[in-house]
Chain A
Amino acid sequence: EVQLVESGGNLVQPGGSLRLSCAASGLIFSNYWMHWVRQAPGKGLEWVANIKQDGSEKYYVDSVKGRFTISRDNTKNSLYLQMNSLRAEDTAVYYCASLGQIVPWGQGTLVIVSS
């Protein structure tokens, strides 16, 4: 069974840092571009970042450039998102996904940025 499981979400103060993880199973992880997508409470989906199969290419939405870093470890079938200088507007459920691929999304992990 193909599965993506996110973890690492938490309540953090503005300006703080958090590292999200996504554990993949049931698929050849190294074959896929991987993405982080977020959804603020009551809002739509927003693409955050993606990373190529071998990690050689990474792209970010403008609002997180310079603050967030996406990475992956194909030996551990894992995807990561290092989030620094967090702001209230980063509050959201964060999903890892492989967009456009027949890979089910995980349940997401909730990040709350608040003092």
Chain B
Amino acid sequence: QSVLTQTPSASGTPGQRVTISCSGSSSNIGTHSVNWYQQPPGTAPKLLIYSNNQRPSGVPDRVSGSKSGTSASLVISGLQSEDEAEYYCTTWDDSLSGWVFGGGTKLTLL
């Protein structure tokens, strides 16, 4: 059972918009910024969003992140086949004195 809760799966058709959520508590998301990682099958994770809503260079602007209270969201618009991957949220947790990951959301294109 992960400290950060993510819906295990999400899906959409090419061109659609999908939202992936990450729910936490006051000791983690409520206090600290959230980062999102994308992991296509068989590859290492790649940073997609840092500090809640910042995109590294090379990440398209159809990808966005936000945080409100103890939850965070990742939005991918204009879905493309390359977006098929597992997505993880992560942040620091004060109660655990450690970093925590969500359980991951597998995004499938229909």
On whether the beta carbons of B104 and A45 are closer than 8 Å, the reply is yes
The minimal Cβ–Cβ distance linking A100 to chain B, given in whole angstroms, is: 4
When distances are taken between beta carbons in the complex, the residues of chain B under 8 Å from A44 are: 2, 86, 88, 101-104
When distances are taken between beta carbons in the complex, the residues of chain A under 8 Å from B97 are: 59
A97 to B99, CA, bound (A): 12
**Most chain A CB within a 10 A radius of its CB, from B2, B45, B56:** B45
Tell me whether chain B's interface is mostly helix, strand or loop, or mixed: strand
Q: Is A23 an interface residue (CB 8 A)?
A: no
Residues 36-50 of chain A, each 1 if its beta carbon lies under 8 Å from chain B, else 0: 010000001111001
When distances are taken between beta carbons in the complex, the residues of chain A under 8 Å from B98 are: 47, 50, 59-61
A100 to B72, CA, bound (A): 15
Closest to A44 in B: B104
- Contact of B44 (CB < 8 Å), options: A35, A46, A50, A107: A107
Query: How many inter-chain contacts with C-beta < 8 Å in the A-B complex?
Result: 58
Q: Is A12 an interface residue (CB 8 A)?
A: no
Closest to B104 in A: A44
Residues 11-53 of chain B, each 1 if its beta carbon lies under 8 Å from chain A, else 0: 0000000000000000000000101010100001111001100
On whether the beta carbons of A101 and B90 are closer than 8 Å, the reply is no
Size of the chain A interface, CB-CB below 8 angstroms = 23
A95 to B88, CA, bound (A): 15
Q: Is B100 an interface residue (CB 8 A)?
A: yes
A104 to B38, CA, bound (A): 12
Q: Is A28 an interface residue (CB 8 A)?
A: no
A62 to B98, CA, bound (A): 9
When distances are taken between beta carbons in the complex, the residues of chain A under 8 Å from B50 are: 100-102
Q: Which 7 A-B pairs have the closest CB atoms?
A: A47-B99, A44-B104, A105-B44, A100-B35, A45-B101, A102-B56, A100-B50
